[in-house]
A = this chain, B = another copy of it.
Amino acid sequence: MSIRSADKIANELEHLVLTGQLCNGERLDEITLAKRFGVSRTPVREAIQKLATSGLVTQEPRRGAFVRQPGPVELLEMFEVMAELEATCGRLAALRISDDTLAQLQLTNEKSQTALDQGNVDLYYRENQTFHHLIYHASGNAFLESETLRLHRRLKPFRRLQLRLRGRMNQSMREHREILKELVDGDPDRAAAALRDHVAIQGEKFHHLMANSKDMLQ
């Protein structure tokens, strides 16, 4: 963790946006935030600009920064890209993954199954995340890993929602086992396809969610 209060504030703000405590379109008032965090405007400004470059807020000159939640179209686009990035991770991982990492994936899947049996969504969610992160890392491409992590992080709040759909956790679990199987077999194309489908389905499920409650994220 950095010492810079600007960085701490950036993380705080990011969390507030991602968890929806700062709603879409809301203006980030520098003075208000400065008071809230007990600092001057300077670190707040730096934090806001950091969020701006990662796309969580838009800046209009002399008017301020506004929270910018992606709309339905952009979200689907992001899931589409996410699917491809994960597919790529899977393709490379199939070629490069170590036995040790395969064992970790196996263990993670077993824990996921336990969580599923208990109906523990939060635990499943965490194990699910571990599963994916292990694959990113197993790609052996640190740049790919960081870029994929970045988008994963960005989609986190939306990804989480769809897990609560009826039967989605079961389906997700089956997909994870399929993915692991392809990685064990070392088949790059099939691993890529399994991961692409797995993530694409998340996008579709999310689409369904949106169709049913348009204003959910407002």
Interface residues of A (CB under 8 A from B): 2-4, 45-46, 49-50, 53-54, 61-62, 74, 77-78, 80-81, 84-85, 88, 92, 141-144, 147
The residue in A2, A49, A61, A142 that gathers the most chain B C-beta atoms within 10 A of its C-beta is: A49
Distance (Å) between the CB of A176 and the closest chain B CB? 22
Are B144 and A61 within 8 A (Cβ)?
Answer: no
Are B144 and A74 within 8 A (Cβ)?
Answer: no
Are A2 and B143 within 8 A (Cβ)?
Answer: no
On chain B, the residues within 8 Å of A49 by CB distance are 46, 49-50
Are A81 and B144 within 8 A (Cβ)?
Answer: yes
* 21 A-B residue pairs with CB within 8 Å: A3-B61, A4-B61, A45-B46, A46-B46, A50-B53, A53-B54, A74-B142, A74-B143, A77-B141, A77-B142, A77-B143, A77-B144, A78-B143, A80-B141, A80-B143, A81-B88, A81-B141, A81-B143, A81-B147, A84-B84, A84-B88
Among all A-B residue pairs, the 9 with the closest Cβ atoms: A77-B143, A84-B88, A53-B53, A77-B141, A81-B144, A78-B143, A3-B61, A80-B141, A81-B143
On chain B, the residues within 8 Å of A54 by CB distance are 53
On chain B, the residues within 8 Å of A81 by CB distance are 88, 141, 143-144, 147
On chain B, the residues within 8 Å of A3 by CB distance are 61-62
On chain B, the residues within 8 Å of A2 by CB distance are 61
On chain B, the residues within 8 Å of A4 by CB distance are 61
On chain B, the residues within 8 Å of A80 by CB distance are 92, 141, 143-144
Q: In the complex, A2→B141 CA distance in Å? A: 36
Distance (Å) between the CB of A157 and the closest chain B CB? 16
Distance (Å) between the CB of A155 and the closest chain B CB? 11
